[in-house]
Amino acid sequence: MTTFSGSDHFWKGAQTLKVPMELFKLNRQRLCEALRAHRTLPPDSFVFLQGGTSEMRYCSDHEPLFRQESYFHWAFGVIEPDFYGAINVQNGESILFIPRLPAAYVAWMGKIKEPDEFKKIYHVDHVYYVDELEKIFDELVGKSKLILVLNGLNTDSGKESQAAHFPGIEHFHIDKTTLHSIISECRVFKTDMELDVMRYANKISSEAHKFVMLNIKDGMQEYEIESLFQYYCGRYGAMRHMSYTCICATGDNPAILHYGHAGAPNDRQLTSKDMCLFDMGGEYYCYTSDITCSFPVSGRFTNEQRIVYEAVLDANRQVMKAVRPGVSWVDMHLLAERTQLEHLKAAGLVQGDIEEMMSARLCAVFMPHGLGHFIGIDTHDVGGYPNPQSRSTLVGLKSLRTDRTLEERMCITIEPGIYFNQSLLNNAYEDEKLKKFLNKNEIDKYLHIGGVRIEDDIAITSDGCELLTVVPRTCEEIEEWMSHNSKQADGKLDYEYFDQLNKKYQYKNQSITVIKKNN
């Protein structure tokens, strides 16, 4: 059972992070301040949000594991389904509307909390029942005041937010245009308390990736890797949810950007010759992480694997050194592309003038996705395109999930990659603008790698960035860490041994170098 420690914190016990409920009160305050600054908005307006709903799978009575709707979570931190919430813009007073549960709930689902209990848990000013919505709004809001509901386009997913609704809401004065852009912009910039939760999500997920490196074996199935990662996140981080479907790609599969879905469910048997691309992240109290580690199953890089890996790592670190407030994310994508092309040219896979390659958008053949995305309560967090019309139409650049200029407190991923996708390569070999740059005979030697991606989560600071992800990154660090894999007795999951190594090896956020502690 989830513990709300002293009604002040969300806490899952033991060594897990305590998240203060003040986090959500501050978010509500920030939202009200932003709305009050809106020139045409009446000061006595109310925000009205609908939480996620409980549901059944298809025609069965099976209930999928609930995860709160992200905007509602950002404002209230509520973990239960079927709630509504309101905020008085003028004075910041908060209201929760809870479902009135039937008496039978006690036998099947557990204790029914009273309104006063929810008031104390979530630090709100008032709690009423959902069936009282129209009555309470009539008393508190009245027909003359404005109710702001969430309705707008998520420029990343292409889906529309659904406006909160209850029977009788049509009798009130409703605004469906103002709230979405303002609350989304608030979510772009993380508070200190939010950053603490994201650091924790990254810490546990980073350790889970290292745990996988220490336990991977020739002959395993990809889904075993997924289960190892989930085991660690759940057992030692109390992460019941993953941030997204785990990508556990080996062999040719790393060339598939979103491998791991229902049609390709991490079901290949890996071999010692394979390169791995494991894109996995756990979430804690809805705050996410998104980390990709690429490494050889054997624990030792071949020459070809090293060439590709070091090209991607250089791009990752060049961007990490360059990011700071005022820097264009589009420019960072171009920096990553140029860096990778220079490495590919030095290795003989491409030929010709780098600037001509950039103009021809050659790098999109090897990296068809964007450099990274905002991250927060959603893995692909909101706010990437305040102006959707600003999205580029150029190959590669059109896949960017944001084109914004970086600002302090933004959280974003850096995830360059080089992929050998046979279909994309075949198309490029037939393209008059691209084929002159490609050395097919050399490229063919790398097809077995599939692809390499290196993904880190960062927070933009006043003079650069804070690296939230802490895993072995250089080839030397990875080989040193994985050299301990063979010491696992009979392939058993030995957390005590893992913990000893974790204390021996530290990976500094800035220098990304290994420190061996004295035993």
One domain, residues 295 and 376 = yes
How many whole angstroms separate alpha carbon 342 and alpha carbon 382? 33
Q: What are phi and psi of 247, to 5 degrees?
A: -105, 110
Strand bridging mode 465-467 / 505-507: unpaired
Task: Dump strand ranges (E) for 51-125.
Answer: 84-88, 94-98
Cα distances (angstroms) measured from residue 305 to each of 293, 373, 454: 14, 26, 13
How many whole angstroms separate alpha carbon 318 and alpha carbon 468? 17
pLDDT, position 501: 86
Query: Is the C-alpha dihedral spanning 177, 179, 182, 188 positive or negative?
Result: negative
pLDDT, position 309: 98
One domain, residues 104 and 140 = yes
Q: Kindly report the CA angle at 501 between 417 and 275, in degrees rounded to 5?
A: 25
Domain boundary among 137, 157, 187: 187
One domain, residues 30 and 138 = yes
Residue with tokens 């279909």: 423
Task: Dump strand ranges (E) for 306-419.
Answer: 411-414, 417-419
Q: Taking phi first (over 0 means left), then psi (-120 to 50 degrees means alpha), and beta for anything else, what does residue 200 get?
A: alpha
Reduced to 3 states (helix: H, G, I; strand: E, B; else coil), residue 315 is: helix
One domain, residues 125 and 213 = no
Comparing CA positions, the residue from 432, 438, 231, 413 lying closest to residue 349 is 438
How many whole angstroms separate alpha carbon 35 and alpha carbon 89? 7
How many whole angstroms separate alpha carbon 456 and alpha carbon 198? 12
Cα radius of gyration (the chain): 25
One domain, residues 135 and 221 = no
pLDDT, position 39: 80
Q: What are phi and psi of 28, to 5 degrees?
A: -65, -40
Tokens of 412: 């974003």
Q: What is the DSSP letter of 37?
A: T
Residue with tokens 């508190």: 140
One domain, residues 172 and 234 = no
Count of C-beta atoms within a 10 Å radius of residue 272: 13
pLDDT, position 431: 98
One domain, residues 317 and 407 = yes
Domain boundary among 126, 156, 187: 187
Count, residues in the chain: 519
Tokens of 165: 């609704």
Range of the domain at 67: 3-187
Residue with tokens 């008032």: 126
One domain, residues 287 and 364 = yes
Angle between helices 303-322 and 329-346 (to 10 degrees): 150
How many whole angstroms separate alpha carbon 58 and alpha carbon 489? 45
Query: Is the C-alpha dihedral spanning 415, 15, 461, 476 positive or negative?
Result: negative
How many Å separate Cα 164 from the centre of its chain? 25
Reduced to 3 states (helix: H, G, I; strand: E, B; else coil), residue 47 is: strand
* H or E segment to which residue 316 belongs: helix 303-322
One domain, residues 220 and 181 = no
How many whole angstroms separate alpha carbon 404 and alpha carbon 382? 12
Angle between helices 475-482 and 303-322 (to 10 degrees): 120
On whether the CB atoms of residues 123 and 24 are closer than 8 A, the answer is yes
Indicate the number of domains in the chain: 2
Question: Which CATH number do you get for residue 25?
Answer: 3.40.350.10
How many whole angstroms separate alpha carbon 438 and alpha carbon 347? 12
On whether the CB atoms of residues 149 and 174 are closer than 8 A, the answer is yes
Q: What is the DSSP letter of 180?
A: H
Q: What are phi and psi of 308, to 5 degrees?
A: -70, -45
Tokens of 514: 């290994």
One domain, residues 290 and 369 = yes
AA identity, residue 215:
N
How many whole angstroms separate alpha carbon 15 and alpha carbon 235? 11
Domain boundary among 187, 218, 253: 187
Question: Which CATH number do you get for residue 276?
Answer: 3.90.230.10
pLDDT, position 508: 57
One domain, residues 147 and 211 = no
User: Bridge partners of 507?
Assistant: 514
Q: Please give the chain's pLDDT, 519 residues, in tens.
A: 456 766 799 999 999 999 999 999 999 999 999 999 998 888 789 999 999 999 988 889 898 999 999 999 999 999 999 999 999 999 999 999 999 999 999 999 999 999 999 999 999 999 999 999 999 999 987 777 899 999 999 988 888 998 999 999 998 999 999 999 999 999 999 999 999 999 999 999 999 999 999 999 999 999 999 999 999 999 999 999 999 999 999 999 999 999 999 999 999 999 999 999 999 999 999 999 999 999 999 999 999 999 999 999 999 999 999 999 999 999 999 999 999 999 999 999 999 999 999 999 999 999 999 999 999 999 999 999 999 999 999 999 999 999 999 999 999 999 999 999 999 999 999 999 999 999 999 999 999 999 999 999 999 999 999 999 999 999 999 999 999 986 554 555 667 788 888 888 876 544 333 333 332
Q: Kindly report the CA angle at 85 between 87 and 109, in degrees rounded to 5?
A: 155
How many whole angstroms separate alpha carbon 42 and alpha carbon 338? 50
One domain, residues 168 and 198 = no
